[in-house]
Amino acid sequence: MKPKILVFSGSTRKGSYNKMLAALVAKHLTIANADVTTISLADYPLPIYDGDLEDETGIPENAFKLRKLIETHHGIFIASPEYNSSITPLLKNTLDWISRIQLPEEEPLQLFHTSVYAVGGASPGAHGSLRGLMHLRTIMEVSLGCLVLPEMISINFAGKSFDENGDLTKDHQIKRLHKLIERFVSEASHVKLQDN
Ligand SMILES: Cc1cc2nc3c(=O)[nH]c(=O)nc-3n(C[C@H](O)[C@H](O)[C@H](O)COP(=O)(O)O)c2cc1C
């Protein structure tokens, strides 16, 4: 059976390098025989997390929709830009809202403990989002309890690292991408999803 993999970017900006990276990963996952769903967080708007808002109106429907997508995919790939050496407010807010959902008879954060995760990032500068990815990894592994693969892809000097088709131009980055895709599809193939 083909593993189902969900792909999204922590930037929804027009011309986003991280959307390009997400699209490239989706393309290579499809070639590697995965069944890929690519979403934009722009289609799942959420208010900035506020405890009073949660008490008054509950967790927004879009957080439940995103939860359902996570629940029904064996693997999740997140492309994350770096803002001031950390992740974007959009991505943090999204993860924060989803983490607030706890269904009856569920362990805390159980949602995050089934699928396998992979991360990557792109930036126009020298850091290639690497410092942001370390924060993302800490949030996902230490706080949410996700299994995040050690293979990750960091694209620096993004303006020169993607060609006009959205493919990578540099051999060392292409090698890392292939390594990530191979391990990701293999690990996702072993994930057993809960019955939904
Ligand atoms: C608030 C803010 C902070 C940023 N901080 C960093 C940074 O710490 N390191 C970096 O390499 N780029 C930084 N950038 C530049 C982003 O990497 C760049 O805007 C990138 O294109 C964003 O990702 P996107 O193309 O997917 O939208 C920052 C951009 C913004 C708006």
- What pLDDT band is residue 19 in, cutting at 50, 70 and 90? very high
pLDDT digits (tens, 9 = 90+) for 68-97: 999 999 999 999 999 999 999 999 999 999
What pLDDT shows up at residue 115?
98
pLDDT at 196 over 70: no
Q: Given the CA of residue 129, which atom of ligand 1 is nearest to it?
A: 11
Which residue has its alpha carbon closest to ligand 1 atom 29?
A: 83
Tokens standing for residue 133: 């990815």
- What pLDDT band is residue 35 in, cutting at 50, 70 and 90? very high
Q: Tell me whether residue 50 is exposed, middle or buried, using C-beta atoms within 10 angstroms of its C-beta: 0 to 12, 13 to 18, 19 or more.
A: exposed
Domain extents in the chain: 4-189
Ligand 1 within 6 A of CB of 183: no
Please give the distance, rounded to the nearest whole angstrom, from the Cα atom of residue 15 to the centre of ligand 1.
13
pLDDT at 49 over 70: yes
What are the Cα distances from residue 122, in Å, to 13, 68, 88, 128, 171? 13, 27, 13, 5, 16
Please give the distance, rounded to the nearest whole angstrom, from the Cα atom of residue 88 to the centre of ligand 1.
9
3-class state of residue 182 by DSSP: helix
Q: Given the CA of residue 126, which atom of ligand 1 is nearest to it?
A: 11
Fold of the domain spanning 4-189: Rossmann fold (3.40.50)
- The overall average pLDDT reported for the chain is 97
Ligand 1 within 6 A of CB of 123: yes
Please give the distance, rounded to the nearest whole angstrom, from the Cα atom of residue 3 to the centre of ligand 1.
32
Ligand 1 within 6 A of CB of 47: no
- What pLDDT band is residue 195 in, cutting at 50, 70 and 90? confident
Percent of the chain clearing pLDDT 70 (strictly above): 99
- Tokens 């390098």: give the residue: 17
pLDDT digits (tens, 9 = 90+) for 159-182: 999 999 999 999 999 999 999 999
101: left (phi over 0), alpha (psi -120 to 50) or beta: beta
3-class state of residue 112 by DSSP: helix
Which residue has its alpha carbon closest to ligand 1 atom 16?
A: 123
For helices 17-31 and 171-189, angle between their N-to-C axes, nearest 10 degrees? 60
What pLDDT shows up at residue 1?
87
What pLDDT shows up at residue 194?
84
Average pLDDT over residues 106-135: 97
What pLDDT shows up at residue 190?
97
Q: 177 and 119 in contact (C-beta within 8 Å)?
A: no
The full 3-state SS of 80-91, as one line of letters, equals CCCECCECCHHH
Average pLDDT over residues 27-49: 98
Please give the distance, rounded to the nearest whole angstrom, from the Cα atom of residue 39 to the centre of ligand 1.
21
Among 35, 34, 40, 4, which residue's Cα sits nearest to residue 22? 40
Q: Given the CA of residue 15, which atom of ligand 1 is nearest to it?
A: 25
